[in-house]
Amino acid sequence: MINPYWELIILLCLINIIFTVSLNLILGYNGQFSLGHAGFLAIGCYTSGALTANLGWPLWAGILMSIVMSIIGAVIIGYPCLRLRGDYLAIATLGFAEILRIMANAIRPDLFGGPTGMQNVKSFYKYIPVPEPMNGVGNLLFTILFTLVFFALLVWGIWALASFLQRIINRRLRWDHWRWLICGLVVLAVIVANFACRGALFYRIFGRWHYETGSGGARIIDKAGIFHFFQALTKDSFASPQWAMFALFIVVVAIVTWMIRNYLISVPGRAVVAIREDEIAATNLGLNCTWMKLQNFMFGSALAGLAGAMLAHTIPLFKPMDFNFFKSVDVLLMVVLGGMGSITGSFVGATIITVLLEALRFLGDWRLVMYSLILILFMIFKPGGLLGSAELGQLIRRRAETAIQRLVGDDPSAGSEARDA
Amino acid sequence: MDAGQPLLVVNDLHVAYGAVRALHGISFAVRDGEIVTLIGANGAGKSTTMNTIIGLVKCRQGKISFNGEEIANQPAHQIVHKGLALAPEGRRLFLNLTVRENLEVGGLVTRDKGRKQDLLTEVFTLFPRIKERLRQVAGTLSGGEQQMLAISRAMMQDPRLMLLDEPSLGLAPNLVQEIFEKIRYLNREGKTILLVEQNAYQALKISQQAHVLEQGRIVMSGTGAELSANPKIKEAYLGG
């Protein structure tokens, strides 16, 4: 069990990731300034909260409605503003978020809780059935599955590394089978390392098994290996609602990320990036800029609504003041810190700021000062955000490529991806 | 080359930016398979003509018909789907995207994947340099390469009529020569081209029809050869 405080922070991180990615889609990929993104979070939060807690709707309908309501909000604000070029959207969304906040304060306190907020929204825990501790067969199946995945990832990792090195070495020393040599060397190195530490390495990975010729066959007698680790994990921890909650959130984040990735390499995604770069040129190329911007804005807002709905069922209490201008600034900072136009950057930015906000809590009101200071430093030394517009994988690959080329003595500028970080 | 049916007909086109009138009723036609050039001094209204045809600027009065269809004052994204493509003045590339991404965005109009691949092959045969630079960011290309990319991007839209606005702007003389050769090649491959140029000498040499614009009016028209032989043109645009 992770203690409930950290559990909440982890869940908030995951929600903020979705929220940040949703703004990144609008700000980073399309270049449209939305200064009131907390408004869409509020729509999601209040819609799902009010519908499920006060009107007795089922959870799935509440979440679906909050996405729908966010999209409607996005159309109301986006349609007039996105027909224009410039910063009109920023001002309109800013006003929109404030109007929503004041409305939540004043309208139907029986439904939305008024200024004190809503406390009666049921947490996800109330919906998740507490998983039964796993029986022997289920446990064994999960353990085998996890172990297989683990070793598959290990092999794939070594193979990917070898293929990568192959590409680089092949430039200088032409031979098509470097990767096999490298894989062989890695295996050899592992065996040698195992010998060097007197079998401790294999012991850690595989545990110790006992073979009986008579009755039972192979049997674990020393529970140290990966297999046992997964066995223990699936048996005890998996049975807790906490893990079910983490799993649920991680699955949602994964699905959202996958959707966005596909969106960005499809026609509308490409169009949206082109519009950020040069709207007139994009028009020239036959793109309906207003519609493209609007549907991107709708997509981003829908995700913010989803984040809001998830937030409503995670935190014990929310009130209108939680969705004030500073909330919008927070998410803006997460995007900018991570890097505009980088999904993995948003992951990093959201995590850092969420954790930072908690870590600096002991400073009281000085927290905001520290917070601004960190941001000023960032703007001075890393103005493009942590990752710029590159993804984490690209960045690591590029770094490694230059480093190795320097090692091999190749010209690092030749044939490399020239996109600057 | 034999000139076919009129593909683009511009009739009595009036354009104004607020109170400033840019075009005072110009009329011309581009026939299928031709290269037609508009030459003129700065502010004569050449680029305005181009932008109005493609739909970036609305016209006050007049008709533009493309392939028999009226396209004046339609939104740009609809006009482009009818088979016109503009390589705009100043290139207007997506400088932070790679060359490949630029071409991909250019090809968004073309939905057919096979056709898209054919177009890409066409681009690579015309500009082998573009193929070498596919992974490079467009902003790091040289001026000549950027111009080639701008033309390639317009080619990816699979147009019948290409509007090229100042393709030789800011290029070294040998590159200008190369660009004009490519334009000629494109024309031989069957593209109709409407060209706007400051470099009147080169432009007149390759074009079948040319029109001279002065302060928003067409003051002279003729074949490329006729105009380059005209003493007035020689004095005003060809440097004596």
Please tell me which of the candidates B76, B98, B153 has its beta carbon nearest to residue A283.
B76
Contact A420 B108 (CB under 8 A): no
Q: What is the pLDDT of residue A416?
A: 43
State the nearest Cα–Cα gap between B3 and chain A, in angstroms. Answer: 27
State the nearest Cα–Cα gap between A287 and chain B, in angstroms. Answer: 5
Give per-residue burial for B174-195: e unless 16+ CB within 10 Å, then b.
ebbebbbebbeebbeeebbbbb
State the nearest Cα–Cα gap between A75 and chain B, in angstroms. Answer: 21
Contact A273 B94 (CB under 8 A): yes
Q: Quick one: tokens of A315? A: 């935190």
Please tell me which of the candidates A273, A283, A389 has its beta carbon nearest to residue B56.
A283
Residues of B at the A interface, defined by Cβ within 8 angstroms: 54, 56, 75-77, 80-81, 85-86, 88, 92-98, 101, 104-106, 108-109, 135-137, 140, 153, 157
Contacts of B95 in chain A (CB under 8 A): 277
| Closest chain A residue by Cα to residue B141 | A418
Contacts of B94 in chain A (CB under 8 A): 273-274, 277-278, 281
Instruction: Evaluate the CA torsion angle B4, B7, B13, B17 in order and state its sign.
Output: negative
Contact A286 B108 (CB under 8 A): yes
Give every CB contact of residue B27 below 8 A, 6+ residues apart in sequence: B10, B11, B12, B13, B218
Determine which of A283, A284, A291, A294 to mutate to test the interface with B (most B C-beta atoms within 10 Å): A284
DSSP code string of B66-81: ETTEE-TT--HHHHHH
ipTM: 0.84
Contact A271 B105 (CB under 8 A): yes
Q: What is the pLDDT of residue B1?
A: 45
Average pLDDT per consecutive 10 residues, chain A (421 residues; last block may be shorter): 84 96 94 92 95 92 96 95 86 93 90 88 81 69 85 88 81 80 89 85 75 60 72 71 84 95 91 91 89 95 96 92 90 89 92 87 80 80 79 79 70 45 36
| Closest chain B residue by Cα to residue A420 | B137
Contact A286 B86 (CB under 8 A): no
Q: What is the pLDDT of residue A101?
A: 93
Q: Quick one: tokens of A152? A: 């598959």
Q: Kind and range of the H or E element at A209? A: strand A208-212
| Closest chain B residue by Cα to residue A413 | B136
Q: Does residue B140 register a pLDDT over 70?
A: yes
Contacts of B75 in chain A (CB under 8 A): 288
Contacts of A266 in chain B (CB under 8 A): none
Q: How far is the C-alpha of B85 from the C-alpha of B82, rounded, in Å? A: 9
Contacts of B56 in chain A (CB under 8 A): 280, 283-284
Mean per-residue pLDDT of chain B: 89
Residues B128-141: what's their mean pLDDT?
A: 90
State the nearest Cα–Cα gap between B77 and chain A, in angstroms. Answer: 4
Contact A271 B108 (CB under 8 A): yes
Instruction: Say whether A34 sits in a helix, a strand or coil.
Output: coil
Q: What is the pLDDT of residue A419?
A: 41
State the nearest Cα–Cα gap between A83 and chain B, in angstroms. Answer: 13
Q: What is the pLDDT of residue A412?
A: 47
Of B229, B235, B223, residue with least CA distance to B41: B235
Q: Which residue has the higher pLDDT, B186 or A178?
A: B186
What domains appear along chain B, each with residue ranges and CATH number? Answer: 1-82+196-240 (3.40.50.300)
pTM (two decimals): 0.81
Strand partners, B195: B37, B164
Contact B101 A285 (CB under 8 A): no
Q: How far is the C-alpha of A272 from the C-alpha of A346, rounded, in Å? A: 18
Of B27, B36, B28, residue with least CA distance to B1: B36
Contact B80 A284 (CB under 8 A): yes
Q: How far is the C-alpha of A160 from the C-alpha of A144, rounded, in Å? A: 24
Q: What is the pLDDT of residue A213?
A: 64
What domains appear along chain A, each with residue ranges and CATH number? Answer: 6-126+243-381 (1.10.3470), 131-240 (no CATH), 395-421 (no CATH)
Please tell me which of the candidates A281, A389, A420 has its beta carbon nearest to residue B94.
A281
Contact B92 A284 (CB under 8 A): yes
Q: How far is the C-alpha of A409 from the C-alpha of A411, rounded, in Å? A: 7
Give chain A's radius of gyration (CA, Å). 26
Q: What is the pLDDT of residue A131?
A: 64
